[in-house]
Structure 1
Amino acid sequence: MMNRSSGNRRSAALLLSATLAAPLLTGCGSSGAAPVVVRASAPATPAPVNPAQVTATSAATNAFGLDLLHTLAATPDGAIRNLVLSPSGLATALSMVLSGARGATADELAKALHTDLTPQQYVLATGALDRRIPPTGGLTLRQADDLWAQQGFPFAQAYLATLAAAFDTGVHTTDFKKDPDGSRQKINEAVEKATDGRIKDLFNEKQITKDTRLALTDALYLKAKWVSPFKHEHTSDQPFHRLDGSTPAVSTMRQNSTFRYTEGSGGILGEPWQAVELPYTDSGLAMDLIVPAQGGFAAFSKALDQARLDQILGGLGERKIDLTLPKFHFDTSNDLSPTLRALGINAAFDNSADFTGLLGPEAPERLKVGAVVQKATIQVDEDGTVAAAGSGVVMVPGAAAAPTKAVQLHIDRPFLFLIRDTTSGRPLFLGQVTDPQTR
């Protein structure tokens, strides 16, 4: 298990090492003692990665996240529901899938992930991004990546070496064939523990079965305080203009402070909009809030792409802001298999999927992706943000200057949000709020 956090970036001491020469995974299965973890010996230091490849992978994750947002919001109810997802969490899980893919399977995954890098380069760059945020006293950030394999499943030596080099992780063994529900519970418990209890039951009974051969998970947990917290006594009920025209009173925070801010209208971004960045203490992380004009949310959200997002974030400059922001707390659960197919990933789900880079020469069967899921949650209040996400992949046999006057930004209508690393630009969480009262 890989556990990167502000206080413990590695967990190598918890792993039982296997040499690269070992052709098969061995373990006790789900009905015995704790599963064995098989891995290649990790290097003493993380594998060196070209900085340009890290930058490109960060931008690619942003573009991938926007694709996910647009596709999920394109469902019949998508325009009116709250939505939170973790682009970085899913990209990390898929990087481990891409690392073992070959041919058209790899090409489709790479295209959807917006990367021109080789699978090896992409997974190493992803690992470097996961390690980027340094330990601090004011931030809890944990990311855990786990691979759970059928007992006796043969892995390619090079695949184990890539996992060690990129993530300093190995592969848990379990027995999906004999005890699929026990295996599922172990996986779900690991994700729940890694997210401080925020993400429960990532996989359901239909997603982990006796036919499961490999399950990959990424668990992400964030607890961060605002640099400029809102005073509780300034919170009051204020109207919020929903997309359906109703205006319920919602619990709304307020402060008058200096933030990075920008606004615009017309041009490639269409209708008027405002954006503000709220930094978290001691972290280099921030939440960006993008607020289209009343009545313009659906069109603005649909048109928002990587170039437009870069334009918004690149225009941020310090201004005095009279800011109101509704408190919100909600969860999102998505079966992402149809979403990824809509983004062009088809071969990975087909019997002809090519994951020969993952399998060793003793592999008795081919693999395909059976399910991709993500659950995410976010809570924003006066003190800061708590957010978590669990992402899972199941593989089965297949065949500016500040003026003295404050700018007014009263967020009383649907808006988009982005929690990102302001140095690399990588998005940890992305979503939309259309009704702060809905969980």
Structure 2
Amino acid sequence: MAGKKRRRRTEKTPRRTTRAGLTALSLSLTKHLSPPEEGHVAAPSAATCGDANLAFSPAAIYAALALLAAGAKGTTLQELLDALGGESRGVADCALADQSRSGGPAVAFACGAWHDAAWTLLPEFRDAIAAAAYKADVRGVDFSHEPERVVKEINGCVAAATNKRIDSIIDPSSLNTSTNLVVASAIYFKGKWDAPFGRSHTMVDKFYHLDGSTTKVPFMRSSRSQLICIRKGHKVLKLPYRSPAPLPPPPPPPRQRKGGSSHQSEAGDEISNASDDELPKYSMCIFLPDERDGLAAMVEQMASGPGFWHYRLPSMRVPVGDFRLPKFKLTVSSSLKQVLRDDMGINSVFCDVDADLSEMAKRKDDDEPGTPPLHVGDVRHKAVLEVNEEGTKAMASTGSYLLCGANAVMDQPETVDFVADHPFLFFVIEEVSRAIVFVGRVLDPSISGL
């Protein structure tokens, strides 16, 4: 039995390591990532709040970078692993598994790599790593002569993975004569609240912007008790999604003969308990600063606390007084290249001189002079997320990241007000794996685009 327990701890170790990588990458992107204005590539610090709503998927960008790391060597590999937290495989499988057939959220995840036809993928990467570990679609395309066809193919894969909610992730202007590799990932998430809000209770009210101006938006209301905790400078609300139905218990082990070992019965009990523990649990957590202009300070506080997951999210329901949460829909599109390169130290994979992706592919004609190595031209991100009375619909392509740190929980009053009438932060997590599936900030819920 002791041997079995050691194996179980060993099997869980990669999950803990990957979670630490997700956390580190989330913190970095939360601190630096902000959607650019139309036609510009910019990445002001998220700690300064910028001037736009934000939504991105940590799980999607982690998977894209991990796929690159699987084919990298040397400095290129080290830079990617530093950003990933050291562990590049097994990206929160529990969080990315579709649960719709068992009553939980619908999750569709896809990852793909498109390389120039002048390169040949190595069988080890294509079969053992790309296909098996990442469920990735890897294809050779003609970037130089058929850019429009390549764009159509990539966008078609993203549209299929997100139920056509995201119809494009790349356009011909994103490609040039030196482009020889595009890596993209897409994730679709649709969950229903465990306790939906009544539409008849939704009312229009004021939402305060960072500059003090206001706009009228619909607010969901509720008189039910809620999962809320009070922290120094902000409050946290947790809204659970409907969970998948429990798995049926395993069949009883065959009866042992007299004198036989009880090993099989004990193993069966252990498997049953492990199955119960592994059921995924999704939640949206909303961080609301106490002050109407307190978002920047709250994000800075969170980004400075890498031990966020050592603090508990709300676990007890409390009676609420005034409870208001705005409905919102976000559509955000941006490039991650500058953030990854300038702020997170991922440089060589984008360089047509220094990139080393030799574990991924080799050029068919090695003797052709002046040929740049396989390298990434850009990493694009697009996300669409909607929150309403029924739940959340969220789609993202080649995502991005967030994580948070928090102070100790303060004393809870008997009744708590939670009025999200000013800018706030949210993230969708899978609590078993602690994977961050989506992250966003809402500066103006009346604006659905950039």
Work out whether the TM-score is over 0.5. yes
Within the alignment, does 1:236 sit opposite 2:235 as a pair?
no
Within the alignment, does 1:116 sit opposite 2:89 as a pair?
no
Return the letter of the residue paired with 1:107.
Q
Q: Deviations over 1:108-135 (max 9, x none)?
A: 111122x223xxxx22x22735655645
Q: Deviations over 1:162-214 (max 9, x none)?
A: 12331344422332232111111111122112212222320121223454323
CA distance in 2, matches of 1:409, 1:423: 26
Q: Which range moved further: 161-170 or 371-380?
A: 161-170
Within the alignment, does 1:215 sit opposite 2:182 as a pair?
yes
Equivalent residue for 1:310? 309
CA distance in 1, matches of 2:412, 2:214: 32
Contact 2:226 2:320 in 1 (8 A): yes
CA distance in 1, matches of 2:92, 2:307: 27
CA 1:380–1:338: 2 relative to 1, 3 Å: same
Within the alignment, does 1:282 sit opposite 2:252 as a pair?
no
CA 1:169–1:349: 2 relative to 1, 3 Å: closer
Q: Deviations over 1:407-438 (max 9, x none)?
A: 11111111100001011110110010011111
CA distance in 2, matches of 1:386, 1:374: 17
Q: TM-score, normalised by structure 2?
A: 0.77
Return the letter of the residue paired with 2:86.
D
CA distance in 2, matches of 1:222, 1:361: 37
Which of 188, 200, 222 aligns to 2:155? It is: 188
CA 1:170–1:195: 2 relative to 1, 3 Å: closer
CA distance in 1, matches of 2:356, 2:434: 32
CA distance in 2, matches of 1:392, 1:381: 22
Within the alignment, does 1:251 sit opposite 2:250 as a pair?
no
Give the secondary structure class of the aligned counterpart of 1:257. coil
Return the letter of the residue paired with 1:95.
A
Give the secondary structure class of the aligned counterpart of 1:197. coil
* Offset, 1:321: 3.2
Within the alignment, does 1:54 sit opposite 2:52 as a pair?
no
CA 1:56–1:363: 2 relative to 1, 3 Å: farther
Contact 1:348 1:354 in 2 (8 A): yes
Q: Deviations over 1:391-421 (max 9, x none)?
A: 189xxxxxx9x99943111111111000010
CA distance in 1, matches of 2:358, 2:118: 17
Q: Which runs of 4+ in 1 moved over 6 A?
A: none
Within the alignment, does 1:338 sit opposite 2:305 as a pair?
no
Within the alignment, does 1:356 sit opposite 2:322 as a pair?
no
CA distance in 1, matches of 2:357, 2:365: 11
CA distance in 2, matches of 1:82, 1:245: 16
Return the letter of the residue paired with 1:309.
F
CA distance in 1, matches of 2:432, 2:94: 11
Uncovered stretches (5+) of structure 2, i.e. residues with no partner: 1-9, 35-42, 245-280, 401-408
CA 1:313–1:196: 2 relative to 1, 3 Å: farther
Equivalent residue for 1:383? 390
Identity of aligned residues (%): 29
- Give me the CA root mean square deviation: 2.6
Contact 1:262 1:312 in 2 (8 A): no
Q: Which range moved further: 49-58 or 276-285?
A: 49-58
1:360-375 correspondence to structure 2 within 5 Å: 360=362, 362=364, 364=366, 365=371, 366-375=373-382
Give the secondary structure class of the aligned counterpart of 2:434. coil
Larger Rg: 2
Give the secondary structure class of the aligned counterpart of 2:429. strand
Give the secondary structure class of the aligned counterpart of 1:224. strand
Within the alignment, does 1:175 sit opposite 2:175 as a pair?
no
CA distance in 2, matches of 1:419, 1:60: 17
Higher relative contact order (CA 8 A, sep 6+): 2
Which of 284, 297, 300 aligns to 2:298? It is: 300
Q: Kindly tell me the number of residue pairs found equivalent between the two proteins.
A: 373
CA distance in 1, matches of 2:28, 2:129: 27
Give the secondary structure class of the aligned counterpart of 1:367. coil
Equivalent residue for 2:251? none
1:359-438 correspondence to structure 2 within 5 Å: 359-360=361-362, 362=364, 364=366, 365=371, 366-391=373-398, 405-438=414-447
